[in-house]
């Protein structure tokens, strides 16, 4: 569990993080979302005791980070996958980190196996691809078998296979009952993984709640349906007093989820060619939510 209370970080007149309060619960993946420059990384550095907050506190499992004995056994983090000495082998890199918290070398070999780097354990990390560095960073985060995990933009620059691997990993970590806190500037990638969401813009909290609520709020409750038997469907919907809109040869039905709509269509004898909840507007909603908080607005294209 991570609890931030009134977290603030100011550099002179610039306020990077402004009175930010949120919690990340165990057993869930919490997405930490915001445009570039919103203060996500600064917040994560404050959680890990690397930066001192100007005001406010953050507690991990009820304690300030600096008060955790052998912190790697409680919190694992990957803030930047490129953090390693290029001349040091993957195994030696993890060995020194393990040594700081009295973790055995055996654990180093275990995490290397877990992330699939055993075959390159004795290779210098300077020659690693970004995908390999991400795996090394994740191995580092998992070293102390921690209850709380933080990842800063873990899928940035990864190929689809790497993204899928990280997504499965995050899900399995949360399924073990761990707190998983993942930042990203891309909503779609979070929508597939996170159950909870903390959205910030310009250092301020914009939204905290479940992903489902956010999706519901963002998408309204529209479900798009295409059918060669639209007439039958219109009658069935009108009979039940359910609102819908015509949209280019399709109907966008509101006030009914896709399960119920599918059953209704079946009962009405309408074949469906498409039945899709309007998640396309999810990204739209996120953009609207954060547009005022984007640090660098692009000018209109002339």
Partner 1 sequence: MSVLKAERIKLFSTRSPWWCAGIAVVATLGFTALFFSLSGGEIVPTVANTQIASAQGRTVVLVLAVLAAASEFNWGTMRMTFQAVPSRTPALLAKGAVVGTLSAAIGLIVGVGCWGLATLIKPDADLALHTAADWRIVFGQVLTFLLTGLLGVGLGLLLRGVGLTLGIALVWTQLVEGLVLFIPTVGDDIHQWMPFYAASQFAGADLGAGPLKLGAPPLGPIGYGVYFAIICLGFFAAGVVINLRRDS
Of the two residues 50 and 175, which places its CB atom closer to partner 1 in the complex? 50
Cα–Cα distance for residue pair 60/70, rounded to 1 Å? 13
Do residues 114 and 143 touch, judged by C-beta distance below 8 A? no
Q: Does 140 bind partner 1 (CB under 8 A)?
A: yes
Question: Taking the complex as a whole, how short is the minimal distance between the CB of residue 77 and partner 1, in angstroms?
Answer: 7
Candidates 20, 11, 6, 22; CA nearest to 179 is 22
Question: Taking the complex as a whole, how short is the minimal distance between the CB of residue 183 and partner 1, in angstroms?
Answer: 16
Of the two residues 45 and 224, which places its CB atom closer to partner 1 in the complex? 45
When binding is defined by CB under 8 A, the residue of 6, 36, 63, 99 that contacts partner 1 is 99
Question: Taking the complex as a whole, how short is the minimal distance between the CB of residue 48 and partner 1, in angstroms?
Answer: 5
Q: Does 266 bind partner 1 (CB under 8 A)?
A: no
When binding is defined by CB under 8 A, the residue of 95, 167, 202, 224 that contacts partner 1 is 95
Q: Which residue's structure tokens are 């209109």?
A: 300
When binding is defined by CB under 8 A, the residue of 8, 21, 23, 101 that contacts partner 1 is 101
176 membership: H or E segment, kind and range:
none
Q: Compute how many residues bind partner 1; rule: CB under 8 A.
A: 32
267 membership: H or E segment, kind and range:
helix 258-267
E strand segments, 44-116? 55-60, 75-78
Question: Taking the complex as a whole, how short is the minimal distance between the CB of residue 68 and partner 1, in angstroms?
Answer: 7
Cα–Cα distance for residue pair 113/255, rounded to 1 Å? 49
In degrees, rounded to 5, the angle at the alpha carbon of residue 25 between the alpha carbons of residues 101 and 104 is 15
Lookup: tokens for 217: 């709020």
What residues contact residue 202 under an 8 Å CB cut-off, 6+ apart?
Answer: 18, 38, 39, 293, 295
When binding is defined by CB under 8 A, the residue of 8, 21, 89, 156 that contacts partner 1 is 89
When binding is defined by CB under 8 A, the residue of 22, 65, 214, 244 that contacts partner 1 is 65
Q: Does 48 bind partner 1 (CB under 8 A)?
A: yes
Of the two residues 111 and 253, which places its CB atom closer to partner 1 in the complex? 111
Q: Does 122 bind partner 1 (CB under 8 A)?
A: no
Cα–Cα distance for residue pair 44/49, rounded to 1 Å? 9
Contacts with partner 1 by CB under 8 A lie at 45, 48-52, 65-66, 68, 71-72, 77, 79-80, 82-89, 92-93, 95-97, 99-102, 140
């Amino acid at each position: 569990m991570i609890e931030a209370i009134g977290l603030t970080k100011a550099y002179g007149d610039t306020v990077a993080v402004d009175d930010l309060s949120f919690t990340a619960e165990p057993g869930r993946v919490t997405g930490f979302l915001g445009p570039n420059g919103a203060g996500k990384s600064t917040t994560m550095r404050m959680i890990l005791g690397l930066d001192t907050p100007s005001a406010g506190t953050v507690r991990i499992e009820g304690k300030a980070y600096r008060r955790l004995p052998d912190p790697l056994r409680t919190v694992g983090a990957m803030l930047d996958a490129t953090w390693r000495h290029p001349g040091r082998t993957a195994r030696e890199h993890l060995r020194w980190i393990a040594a700081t918290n009295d973790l055995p070398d055996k654990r180093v070999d275990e995490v290397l196996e877990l992330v699939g780097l055993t075959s390159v354990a004795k290779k210098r990390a300077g020659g690693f691809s970004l995908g390999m560095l991400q795996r090394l960073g994740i191995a580092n985060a998992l070293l102390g078998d921690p209850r709380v995990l933080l990842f800063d933009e873990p899928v940035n620059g990864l190929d689809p296979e790497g993204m899928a691997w990280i997504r499965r990993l995050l899900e399995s970590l949360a399924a073990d009952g761990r707190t998983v806190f993942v930042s990203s500037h891309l909503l779609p990638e979070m929508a597939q993984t996170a159950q909870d969401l903390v959205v910030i813009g310009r250092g301020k909290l914009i939204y905290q709640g479940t992903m489902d609520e956010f999706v519901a709020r963002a998408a309204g409750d529209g479900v798009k349906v295409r059918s060669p038997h639209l007439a039958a469907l219109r009658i069935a919907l009108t009979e039940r007093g359910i609102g819908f809109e015509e949209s280019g040869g399709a109907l966008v039905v509101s006030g009914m989820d896709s399960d119920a709509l599918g059953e209704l269509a079946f009962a009405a004898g309408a074949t469906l060619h498409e039945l899709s909840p309007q998640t396309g507007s999810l990204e739209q909603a996120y953009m609207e939510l954060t547009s005022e908080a984007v640090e660098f607005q692009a000018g209109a294209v002339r």
